[in-house]
Structure 1
Amino acid sequence: MDIRVLIIEDEMIIARFIEQILQNLYEDLNIHIALSVEEVESIFSEFKPQLVLCDIELHDVKDGIELMEAYKKNHAFELIFITSYQSMNVMNRAFTVHPENYIIKPLDESRIYAGCNASMQRLLKAINKDFCAHSLEGLTSSEIEILGLIVQRLTTKQIADKLFLSPYTVKNSRHRICRKLNLAEENNALLAWALNNQHLL
C-alpha cells in the first residue's frame, strides 16, 4: 500500500527535486505536486494525503502556514514545512499549526531525509499494522488461536495436545494460515509473522 504524499511548492524545479529525493529514499510512494493554492484545493479532499510537505512562501492568496492551518482543522495528516525563512517570527507562526518538522532551504538529500524520516516511519508502521489487521479478517477463530500458540513457540505436537487435535489437523491448519497470509511455508515464516504481529492476536 502506497503512502500518499502531497508536495506544495510554487517552483516546479524544487518540487520535482523533492519528489525525486523521496522516491530515491522510500519505496511505494504516491506523490502529487500542487503548485498553487488552487491546485491544493482541487486535489486535497480526493487525494487525502498522509504526508504534506508545504513551502511557506507560496506567492499566492495564502501562504503555506495559513493554507495548512485551514486544512488541519478538518483533515488528519503529517505536516512538514519547507522554507527559506529562518526568522523566529515565521517559525513561531509555523509551530502554531503543529508541524512534525521544519526543513530550511537550500535542500539536499540529507536535509530532506532528516526532516521526513520520522514521519515516514510512523506512516509505514501504521500501514503495516492496518494491513496485518486486515489479513486476520480472513482467518477463522481456531486459526487465530493456533497463531497465538505459535507465538508461544509451541511445536505442532504441543499445539495439538493443548487443543485436543491431531498433529495432522494442526499441520493442515498451519498450511491454510500460510496461504491466507501469503507466506512461504519454510524457514519459520509463520513463526516470524506471528512474533512480529502478536499485538494483533
Structure 2
Amino acid sequence: EPKEEPSPIASWFRMDMDSLGLQLWAGASHQLGPISLSSDIYIAPLLGTAEFDIGPAFTFGPVTINPMVGFAFNFVTMEPSALVAPQLFTYVDVKPVYFESWILGSFSSMFNEAASDYFYSRDFLLFYPTDDFGIGPHLELTIEANEIVTPDDPTTADVNEASVDEAGLSSLQLGGVIGLNYGTGNKLLLYLGYETQKESQLGDKLAGRFTFVHNF
C-alpha cells in the first residue's frame, strides 16, 4: 500500500488536570500565504463550557508570538459564557532553555452580572540538562477586574458588601515545573506550587497541574 503522506497542517492535543478538573484542548495552525493562522478548542467539563480561539502566529527564529481572541459558551445553561480577549501566547525555544507565557483577559459580566471578569497569566521557564528532562520556575496569577456582588441582583442582595474582597489580585502561585519528553511528539509537564492568596487556597496552600501534550 502507498505510504500515507503526513498532513501539512501542524496540530496538537492537550490534557490538563488541576483545580478546574480535567480540561481538553485540540488545536492546529493553517498556513495562509505568509501568515500562520492558529485556532483551538478548549473544553472544561467541570464548568460545562467550551471555548473557540483564533489568531495569527508570528515566528521569528526561536520565538513564536500568537495573539488570539476567543469566545466561550456554557452548554449547561445554553448561554454565552465569556469573551476571552485579548490573549497573547509567547514561546521561546533556545535549547537548552524553553520559555512559555500566557496572558489573557476573560470577560463574563457582559453576559451575566453576577459573573467575574479577570486577567490571567501563566509563565514558566525550563532548563533541559538532557534532551528529555527539564526543570525550572513557574508563576501564575489571576487579577479580578470586577466585584460580583451587585445591589440589584436578588441572589446577592443580602450579602454584606463590606465583606467582599475588592477587585484585585485574587491568586498568585509560585512553584516549579518539570518537563519530560514522553516519546515521539509527546510531552508531560508536572507543576507543583504554593498559593499565596488566602481566598484561593482550596483546603491547603498547595497548587498543581498535570499536563500531557501530543504534537501530530
Shared fold per TM-score greater than 0.5: no
Q: Whose radius of gyration is greater, 1 or 2?
A: 1
Normalised by the length of structure 1, the TM-score is: 0.30
> Hey, which of these two has a bigger chunk of helix by percent?
1
Normalised by the length of structure 2, the TM-score is: 0.29
